[in-house]
Structure 1
Amino acid sequence: RPRLTIDGTDEVSPELALIKGRGGALLREKIVASSSEEGLVVVADSTKMVDSLGAGPLPVEVDSFGWETTFEDLASLGCEPELRMDQTDPVHPFVTDGGHYTADCTFGSIPDPASLEVEIKRIPGALECGLFVNLARAAIIATGDEVIEAKPERSD
């Protein structure tokens, strides 16, 4: 097991809920972050800070078998899933490190990331989603000429 994971993020909320995986290694990133003994520390610039997750698409790694049905089920959660295409060969879907497809799901604001993560994982064919909830123990944020460490604002 890794002792500590330090990685970037696509979006980070004040509670340190994250969206990660827009680069294409979502499932593997989640495995590494979840298995780290001391948790996850994210490093980002201030453009990644959001009041509520969902400023950009939420990636969902899906099995290539039956992906159309999986996308329909994702859409039933209130998003617009779009099949990510390969940037070097745009007539073919992008294939993740694990050999899967990615649904880029536009939800808009995600007020309850933990509940949405549970709902997505209930869908057959949805292997993992880019919501990283209660995994980050700190965020190092560069804001212009200053670097700050953010700790989770939890409402326990």
Structure 2
Amino acid sequence: MSNAEMLKRQAAARALEHVRSGMKLGLGTGSTAKHFVELLAERVAEGLEVVGVPTSEATRLQAESLNVPLGTLDDYPALDLCVDGADEVGPDLTLIKGGGGALLREKIVASAAAQMIVIADASKHVETLGAFPLPIEVVDFGVAAIRRGIEKAARAAGCHGLLALRRGADGHVFVTDQGHLILDAAFGVIPDAAALAASLANVPGVVEHGLFINLANRVILAGADGVTVLDRA
């Protein structure tokens, strides 16, 4: 296991300490969340009783293969805890998420949880959001017009940069689990995440964006100097 993967696993292990029997858990998507599901499965095999609500089909398939009991938000509309990764973590625990393409389901699940714990390696902690391109999920109708709307909304929030239609490794257009497309916005710097989020929400055709504001209660960062825990004020 590479050093980066070991750090992710350390963060996942610390998050697992917050899980209690009887909990309804949101299960995140991505390389760090994958470690959490693996470790959770070991506890389930030892007798821990939980129900997981996955944030993507990939996570659902992983959890099923490891015999983690699963449900849906229709079964359990109120969750105790959501554990997920992040692509960037700002000083106020505002996040950029969606590098794996599951931002819509991730935000719905996180919003349904009483608490959200984010697990990541320490390199994801930044002073200003934006170096990681912001994923913006859009419908597949009128993408060129939606792109123009996003660019105008971004400028109003002080953001400038190129928008790229996400493609998979095979070169084909990436399609989310909900059948939408993703525009990745290379803003470089996002001076006011709340202003940008509000501006994007008013663009017709935008389904969701990867700014997670006031959702993460705790962030667990694993680095060369050990594990650091950040709590939202």
Say yes or no: TM over 0.5: yes
1:79 CA drift (Å):
3.1
TM-score relative to the length of structure 2? 0.62
Structure 1 window deviating more from structure 2 (142-151 vs 10-19): it is: 142-151
What residue in structure 2 maps to residue 13 of structure 1? 90
CA separation in 1, counterparts of 2:79 and 2:141?
Answer: 32
1:56 CA drift (Å):
1.3
What residue in structure 1 maps to residue 107 of structure 2? 30
What residue in structure 1 maps to residue 201 of structure 2? 121
Match of 1:67 among 139, 143, 150: 143
What residue in structure 2 maps to residue 49 of structure 1? 125
Query: Aligned AA for 1:115?
Result: A
CA separation in 1, counterparts of 2:147 and 2:214?
Answer: 26
1:140 is paired with a residue of what secondary structure? strand
CA separation in 1, counterparts of 2:132 and 2:138?
Answer: 19
Q: Is structure 2 residue 162 aligned with structure 1 residue 80? A: yes
Question: After TM superposition, where is structure 1 displaced by more than 2 Å over at least 4 residues in a row?
Answer: none
Query: Aligned AA for 1:58?
Result: L
Q: Which has the higher strand share?
A: 1
1:47 is paired with a residue of what secondary structure? helix
Unaligned runs of 5+ in 1: none
What residue in structure 1 maps to residue 176 of structure 2? 96
1:51 CA drift (Å):
0.2
CA separation in 2, counterparts of 1:4 and 1:112?
Answer: 28
CA separation in 2, counterparts of 1:151 and 1:49?
Answer: 13
1:55 CA drift (Å):
1.1
Query: Aligned AA for 2:97?
Result: K
* Structure with the greater alpha carbon radius of gyration: 2
Query: Aligned AA for 2:200?
Result: I
Query: Aligned AA for 2:205?
Result: G
Q: Percent identity?
A: 46
